[in-house]
């Protein structure tokens, strides 16, 4: 049983929620649609980051959904989705999102992702171009950076050290250690420029899935997957290949992924629009939702992805 009690929030804050099955595994999604047909532009699919869920879009889903059909999906192993034994990685999750798009959305959509969700959104556009009308990335990790930074001569040594520190028994012990409100709060505050944004609702969003059945197993598998060079395709290679409109938004106070990386990506894709947000950390959609929502709606209008 979930030991972290759910709090009452505004009805439909996370959209209308439905269960959805993929490869025999249960997941969950939320959605909101405009009341007026005149406002229906390209659908939007929101993809959360590691340790989060569809509920991390608490300030975005409903607002965007007033303009165009908007969906938020729990990725397998995270949120309210099942925690199976699986080959986790950007391409695995992109396959899940593609199946969701085929079964639920059915027309080219704007992929919006935060952190790992941004990498998944870009991977969707790269592998399944027919599903993506555009891609918006809120802080973009690049699996290839690891290989670029580690000299080839010491790569085997680094790999051996990683094997030690990602041993399943050690990661499982770490999971049970950090699955505490005080520790999660300190970790979350590192992701935000303004620590006050880490409120009780956010802590419940982050903590609740950690008490689901097999959550420890999923944590171990995902962390081990993230340490492998094949966790996902090179972000630079994908950016160079996709033809859809691209927007990259990065918090200037992001402590998880250095903002300086955002300045490398336009070198491989000149069409990429980059916006750096001051007073914002790793999760600008939750820390500065009004500003982020305004930027996104303006970008959608300029690229004719929003009507009305």
Nearest to 277 by CA among 238, 243, 247, 307: 247
Which residue has tokens 């689901």? Answer: 212
Task: Give residue 212's pLDDT.
Answer: 95
Q: What is the pLDDT of residues 161-181, one digit of tens each?
A: 455 456 776 888 888 898 999
Task: Give residue 211's pLDDT.
Answer: 95
Task: Give residue 29's pLDDT.
Answer: 98
Q: Is residue 196 part of a domain?
A: yes
CATH of the domain at 115: 3.40.50.1820
- Whole-angstrom distance, CA of residue 86 vs CA of residue 164: 21
pTM, to two decimals? 0.91
Q: Is residue 138 part of a domain?
A: yes
**Burial (0-12, 13-18, 19+ Cβ within 10 Å), 224:** middle
Q: What is the pLDDT of residues 237-287, one digit of tens each?
A: 999 999 999 999 999 999 999 898 888 999 999 999 999 999 999 999 999
Q: Is residue 5 part of a domain?
A: no
Q: Is residue 127 part of a domain?
A: yes
Mean pLDDT in each 10-residue stretch from start to end of the chain (308 residues)? 45 90 98 80 95 97 95 98 97 98 97 98 98 98 67 43 61 88 94 95 96 95 89 95 97 93 92 96 97 97 87
Show the domain range for 226.
16-303
Q: Is residue 11 part of a domain?
A: no
Q: Is residue 265 part of a domain?
A: yes
Q: Is residue 1 part of a domain?
A: no
Indicate the number of domains in the chain. Answer: 1
Q: Is residue 115 part of a domain?
A: yes
């Amino acid at each position: 049983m979930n030991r972290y009690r759910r709090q009452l929030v505004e009805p439909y804050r996370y959209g209308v929620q439905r269960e959805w099955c993929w490869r025999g595994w249960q997941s969950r999604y939320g959605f909101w649609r405009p009341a007026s047909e005149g406002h229906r532009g390209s659908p939007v699919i929101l993809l959360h980051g590691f340790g989060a869920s569809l509920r991390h879009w608490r300030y975005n889903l409903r607002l965007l959904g007033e303009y165009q059909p908007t969906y938020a999906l729990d990725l397998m192993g995270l949120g309210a989705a099942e925690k199976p034994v699986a080959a986790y990685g950007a391409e695995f999750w992109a396959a899940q999102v593609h199946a969701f798009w085929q079964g639920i959305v059915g027309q080219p959509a704007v992929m919006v992702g935060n952190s790992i969700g941004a990498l998944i959104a870009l991977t969707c556009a790269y592998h399944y171009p027919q599903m993506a009308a555009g891609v918006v990335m809120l802080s973009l990790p690049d699996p290839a950076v690891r290989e670029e930074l580690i000299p080839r001569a010491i790569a085997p040594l680094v790999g051996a050290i990683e094997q030690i520190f990602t041993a399943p028994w050690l990661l499982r012990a770490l999971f049970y250690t950090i699955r505490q409100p005080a520790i999660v709060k300190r970790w979350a505050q590192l992701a935000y420029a303004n620590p006050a944004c880490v409120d009780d609702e956010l802590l419940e969003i982050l903590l609740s899935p950690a008490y689901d059945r097999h959550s420890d197993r999923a944590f171990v598998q995902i962390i081990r997957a993230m340490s492998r060079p094949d966790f996902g395709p090179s972000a630079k290679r994908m950016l160079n290949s996709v033809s859809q409109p691209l927007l990259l938004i990065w918090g200037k106070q992001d402590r998880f992924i250095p903002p300086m990386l955002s300045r490398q990506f336009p070198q491989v894709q000149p069409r990429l629009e980059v916006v750096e947000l001051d007073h914002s950390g790793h999760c600008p959609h939750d820390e500065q939702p009004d500003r982020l929502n305004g930027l996104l709606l303006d970008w959608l209008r300029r690229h004719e992805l929003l009507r009305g």
